[in-house]
Structure 1
Amino acid sequence: MRSNRDAIRAAQDSPSGTAHAVPPVTPAAPDGPNAQAVAEGVHPAAEAATREPAVTRLPCPPPHRLEGCAHADALSPAERYGELFVRVQASGIFADSKTFPDCLPLAPPEEILARYQRQRDLPGFSLEAFVAEHFARSTVPDSHYVSNPDQSLREHIDSLWPVLTRDPIDHPPWCSLLPLPHPYVVPGGRFGELYYWDSYFTMLGLEASGRHDLVRAMADNFAYLLDSYGLVPNGTRSYYLSRSQPPVFTLMTELFEAQGVEPPHAYLPHLRTEHAFWMDGAERLCPGTAHRRAVRLPDGSLLNRYWDDHARPREESFLEDVVTAHRGDRPAHLVFRDLRAAAESGWDFSSRWLDESAPGTPASLSTIRTTAILPIDLNALLWHAETRLATLCERAGDADGAARYAAMAHARREAIERHLWHPELGAFVDYDWHRGARRQCLTAATVMPLFVGLASDEQAAAIGATLRARLLAEGGLATTCVRSGEQWDQPNGWAPLQWLAIQGLRRHGDEALAHEIADRWLSTVAGLYRREYKLVEKYRLRRKGRHALGGGGGEYPLQDGFGWTNGVVAMLLQHYPEHPAAGTRAGVGANGN
């Protein structure tokens, strides 16, 4: 095992600046159990049986999926600056790896790179001075916002929407920020761009606050991204274009149907495009093979996984990924892709994606194997998308399309029942397709089938009992049963998972447990607001004394803002208007917090 210093030196000393740290960008290659699982010693004799067939590449390779894509010049910073990018990220000039990819170049990138190549070996050359001369930091717009301790929690949330809203402006040339046509709401803190699955939960809060204009604007932005790139990227930065996030655009469009202000089929072409993105290559798969996000199991079942088209460090977490890969004994490119795939899941990071084979202490992040795992929440969302597409196609008079999507939904549901339902555990779990076994770890992702209507009432009752026995914590619903140091594990709780659980349980008639989770979560959020006048990205579900605490772990400090917390809390206060959190002000706690 190499030291962190060795890992950094490998990135700096690579002759091309890419050999160790940024493998060359290539089109997405098939990866079967033989490609990764054999490397992990899983299937030592399975090469011939599991080799994936060659597949035809799309005419415009990822991330620019559309032929003749108008945005094919949206290169990422690593692609633009090559060895300069690697050296800056490995140097530690910036405390946060996201800072440099978000910087604004002050000259054409090719000119900056040429200057660097001329100057880098000159006596007295200062990389820090060179970067300061040629790049400007991206700054958060100055809102002059100061929390008002006299505001109630609900008033505080309503006042935050203008602070977190960004209007389309002249797009700075050559920067990593992707242009959008309409206003949008950002999460806050270091996250100053539009994020995909965050935005659904933010939009719930905008609905609760009566900001229907922003809800429509954000949905139209996502439609624009699908038209432009063939996917909704993780976030609106060029370095996110190789991956998406949990496909919640279908849920977003349902908000309009509930309002009755938008024809349900208005976004049908975009829903088709997104589904095609997730299913790319599926029709050509033989049993036991995979391509990108689609996996055909040996029994012929078709399910999906998270993926990323690049096998190199994430540009926004460059140094962290290099160090993680060099802490383990797996080929670095496998670790890089699995880290990126976990980022597509939104659960970055969690024991959910780590190797379960090692007993005792939680596995190291370097054992991450996301692409070997078929997640229950992703497949439940895709089932919901297929069901919704079938309905919308029928309304639009497309009988063939309706039948095709209905058949896909039916087949997916059967595959989920067969492979992802764990009757002994009383929960839906993820499935390790490399090892041919259900994952044993219980996670809050088990609530997604309840939320989208996939689970039966009997399954919902079993899940409710499991949640109460194993994941219900003092401050809300826990994410997993594991304390690993990663932010999507104990002791943290996250707003989106609270909402999915509460609404999923309510859908199946378990109002008591739904109310219990909502009560504990609102009390947690109100307790921190009472003391610090803010909402944050995640919360510790165990209090210190009588004080609620913000969550810990992960790659970056706790972020204030915070989009999806605001959204979920606003909607919960609408559902539970009598909860003491609704009136929480400075010095007046909820439930004694």
Structure 2
Amino acid sequence: MRPTGKPDTESAVPPSPAAASGSTVPRSAPATPDGAGAVAGPAAAPGKIHRAAQPHLITHRDCPPPHTLPGCACADMLSPAARYCELFVDVQHSGLFADSKTFPDCIPNCDPDLIVARYREARVTPGFSLADFVQAYFTRATVPDSHYVSDPDSTLREHIDSLWPVLTRAPVAHPPLSSLLPLPHRYVVPGGRFGELYYWDSYFTMQGLARSGLGDLMVEMTRNFAYLIDTYGLVPNGTRNYYLSRSQPPVFALMVDLLEREQLASALDFLPQLRREYAFWMDGAERLCPGHAHRRVVCLPDGALLNRYWDDRPWPREEAFLEDMETALRSGRPHHMVFRDLRAAAESGWDFSSRWLDAPDPRAGQPADLATIRTTAMLPVDLNALLWHLETRLAALCEQAGDAASEVYRAAAQRREAAILQYLWDGAAGVFVDYDWCRGAPRRYLTAATVMPLYLGLASAAQAQAVAQAVQERLLVDGGLATTECTSGQQWDQPNGWAPLQWLAVCGLERYGHEALAREIAQRWLATVASLYTHECKLVEKYRIRRIEGAAQGGGGGEYPLQDGFGWTNAVAGAMMARYGEVPATCRADDVGASR
């Protein structure tokens, strides 16, 4: 079940702080694309967040009741912040856990209401120890310090194949009232602190599973995503209840395409779930007036509809509580707006990047502060290309099924394609860009998201030629494809490179006949991955890809330490080696795992 509130229609007056519809004011209003969903009380005002006011952000009163969120009203819908109220806030502020994600993932040892009641009684007694209380009433989820110790005599390919069983999880008894969402089938986790299923990670993971001949596991993972759509009305960011207010880039249709390509299933088997995911992303579209937005849909002044990232909860992310509070304090903006934009960036998968920041031109080398984040003001090119693909696939599948809705989806795809070309194509620069709908202007910074229209076949041949030239001149660096042109300290900026973006670029360029550039990106990336593996016997989440002395290094920045594992890195490296051979031309033989 999804919220059904009508979008705000007043041209310059933002909704009241208590509003929860997700509507926004028109482009002509000040750049506050998130006027709705504010939290009442002092915590919603700009300036200092008082500690006494912090529980007000996350009490049962302020949390949407379960039936207003996607899916059914069930115990798992109530997230840890809503369940534990001031206990949750106190634990997060206490420094008991170095990682804000640890406590939300803890398992209660008895009824949560009883835990809260006992906490309220015990915390005022002399000698009370919060650490002792948490240890008595919660079991910490196990996160291994080192996810896997590899055999130093294994080649890179052998290492990747040996990791799949380590990263695979099977359905087990679901811990009662924990944040973990149960799943019916096996799945692959990214690794490290990420011990649950993640949405867009899994599509790239499946590419590697296909190369490794693990078709059964690919089918099971896709069925898990179908189950999530059927159960909750969306694919959440990850399988924790604190992720249920947001999704990630909608790649379910690409998973289905992959199964069909590998002759593992028919796409028609998943048509109901594809339709329901599309409905989630387009919720409220039919009621919008030009210049307004509702949740993930924006109606531009000419009536064109494009999408943005969003999150239904305007308070700090539970898995990054302290980090979000600190960012809001620095912002000088209403805190609920900052929280919403941080959460929306998490839905994008690019958390975080100068791509979402209201900052000086990042190419000028000036600092980009996370507190200036404005994700909900941006219409991302990769998101809208994915939704165009979903509309196109729905049209074809409905036609195949004899469903008259095929024409509705086909028309929607045609309208979106026209809007993408009008708003998200920068002809002068020859690149696809994001669009700031609140300011009525395209973003001029080039990011690797420019390759998504090529990957999906949306670009024309001339556009693909221009993008290829821009990528070669502006994003190709020593170790592969750069994420952006900016060095900001955020993990989705330089000097980091990420496996999924390499895959999108390589396949997108190949699709349009730019094989030499595709191969160059692949070989540089494989050399980076292989170099670090040679010296450290592991694969990691992200890599530093600017030229440095000595061996390659893992990437930096972000809110948590570099993670080993790592699902999509393993998958993309394996798939690229299958495509281009074992030994990249740009590195030594021992860099791809010859015996040492």
Distance 1:150 1:351 in 2: 40
Q: Tell me the secondary structure at the aligned position of residue 298 of structure 2.
A: strand
Structure 2 residue 363 is matched with structure 1 residue 370 = no
User: What per-residue deviation string (whole Å, max 9, x for no partner) do you get for residues 90-134 of structure 1?
Assistant: 111110000000001111100000000111111111111111111
Output the CA distance in 1 between the equivalents of 2:180 and 2:374.
Answer: 30
Distance in 2, matches of 1:144 and 1:524, equals 21
**1:44-76 Cα deviation digits (max 9, x unpaired):** xxxxxxxxxxxxxxx99776324xx26365210
CA contact (8 A) 1:63 1:309 kept: no
Map residues 224-263 of structure 1 onto 2, 5 A cutoff.
Answer: 224-263=227-266
Task: Give the CA RMSD over aligned residues.
Answer: 2.5
Contact 2:156–2:593 (8 Å) recurs in 1: no
DSSP 3-state at the match of 2:24: coil
CA contact 1:143–1:163 (8 Å) conserved in 2 = no
TM-score (norm 1): 0.89
DSSP-derived class of the 2:293 partner: strand
Deviation at 1:144, TM superposition (A): 9.1
Match of 1:299, SS state, is coil
Say whether the 8 Å CA contact 1:581–1:589 is kept in structure 2. Answer: no
Q: Distance in 2 between matches of 1:389 and 1:460?
A: 25
Q: 1:367 is matched by which residue type in structure 2?
A: T
- Matching of residue 445 in structure 1 with residue 449 in structure 2: yes
Q: Is the 8 A contact 1:63 1:242 kept in 2?
A: no
**Paired residues of 2:155 and 2:592 also in contact (CA < 8 A):** no
Mapping for residues 535-546 of structure 1, pairs under 5 Å: 535-546=539-550
Preserved CA contact (<8 Å) 1:246 1:345: yes
1:192 is displaced (CA, Å) by 0.2
1:214 is aligned to 217
Is the Cα–Cα contact under 8 Å of residues 65 and 229 in structure 1 kept in the other structure?
yes
What does residue range 59-208 of structure 1 map to in structure 2 within 5 Å? 64-66=69-71, 69=72, 71=74, 73-140=76-143, 145-208=148-211
Q: Distance in 2 between matches of 1:63 and 1:476?
A: 44
2:393 to 378, 388, 395: 388
Q: Does 1:485 align with 2:478?
A: no
Instruction: State the 1:389 CA deviation.
Output: 0.4
* 2:469 aligned to which of 445, 448, 465: 465
Q: CA deviation at 1:424?
A: 1.4
Q: Take 1:222 and 1:86, find their aligned partners in 2: how far apart are those partners?
A: 32
Shift of 1:264: 2.2
How high is the TM-score relative to the length of structure 2?
0.88
Deviation at 1:38, TM superposition (A): 4.6
Measure the CA separation in 2 of the matches of 1:279 and 1:33.
19
Q: Is the 8 A contact 2:92 2:322 kept in 1?
A: yes
Q: 1:308 aligns with which of 296, 302, 311?
A: 311
Contact kept? 2:353, 2:491, Cα under 8 Å? yes
Aligned position for 2:53:
none
Letter in 2 for 1:272: R
Query: What are the equivalent positions in structure 2 for 1:532-571 lying under 5 Å apart?
Result: 532-571=536-575
Q: Contact between 2:222 and 2:256, CA under 8 Å: does it hold in 1?
A: yes
CA deviation string 1:375-416 (max 9, x = no partner): 000000000000000000000011x21100000000000000
Please state whether the residue corresponding to 1:101 is helix, strand or coil: helix
Does the alignment pair 1:30 with 2:33?
no
Question: For 2:207 and 2:419, how far apart are their aligned partners in 1?
Answer: 31
Relative to 1, partners in 2 of residues 1:358 and 1:589: Cα closer, same or farther, differing over 3 Å?
closer
- Which whole-Å CA distance do the structure 1 matches of 2:125 and 2:19 have between them? 33
Of 535, 540, 544 in structure 2, the residue corresponding to residue 531 of structure 1 is 535
CA distance in 1, matches of 2:233, 2:280: 7
Give the AA of the match of 2:197.
L
Cα distance in 2, alignment partners of residues 111 and 292 from structure 1:
36
Distance in structure 2 (CA, Å) of the matches to 1:581 and 1:179: 45
Matching residue within 569, 572, 576 for 2:576 = 572
Matched residue of 1:251: which SS?
Answer: helix
Contact 2:236 2:247 in 1 (8 A): yes
Distance of aligned partners of 1:480 and 1:141 in 2 relative to their CA distance in 1, 3 Å threshold:
closer
Structure 1 unaligned blocks of 5 or more: 1-23, 43-58
Q: Distance in 1 between matches of 2:394 and 2:193?
A: 35
Residue 103 to residue 36, structure 1, CA distance change in 2 (3 Å): farther
Cα distance in 2 for residues equivalent to 1:406 and 1:381: 14
Question: Partner amino acid for 1:186?
Answer: V
* Contact 2:538–2:564 (8 Å) recurs in 1: yes
Alignment counterpart, residue 434 of structure 2, candidates 410, 424, 430: 430
* CA deviation profile, 1:490-545 (whole Å, cap 9, x unmatched): 00000000000000000000001000000100000000000001000000002431
**Counterpart contact for 2:533–2:591, Cα < 8 Å:** no
Asked if the contact 2:33–2:377 (Cα under 8 Å) also holds between the matched residues in 1, the reply is no
Which whole-Å deviations, capped at 9, do the CAs of 1:346-365 have from their partners, x for residues lacking one?
00000000004578623210
Instruction: For 1:25 and 1:253, locate their aligned partners in 2 and report how far apart those are by CA, in whole Å.
Output: 40
Q: Secondary structure at the match of 2:332?
A: coil
Following superposition, the deviation at residue 33 of structure 1 comes to: 3.8
Q: Name structure 2 gaps, 5 residues minimum.
A: 1-16, 36-63
CA distance in 1, matches of 2:291, 2:576: 43
Q: Deviation at 1:440?
A: 1.1
* Matched-pair contact (CA < 8 Å) for 2:431–2:466: yes
Instruction: Point out the more displaced range, 85-94 or 494-503.
Output: 85-94
2:28, 2:439 within 8 Å by CA — same for their partners in 1? no
> Does structure 2 conserve the Cα–Cα contact (< 8 Å) formed by 1:448 and 1:500?
yes
What amino acid is the match of 1:479? T
Aligned to 2:4: none
Name the count of aligned residue pairs: 550
Contact 1:421 1:429 in 2 (8 A): yes
1:287 equivalent in structure 2: 290
How far is 1:146 from its partner?
2.5
Quick one: percent identity of the two aligned structures?
65
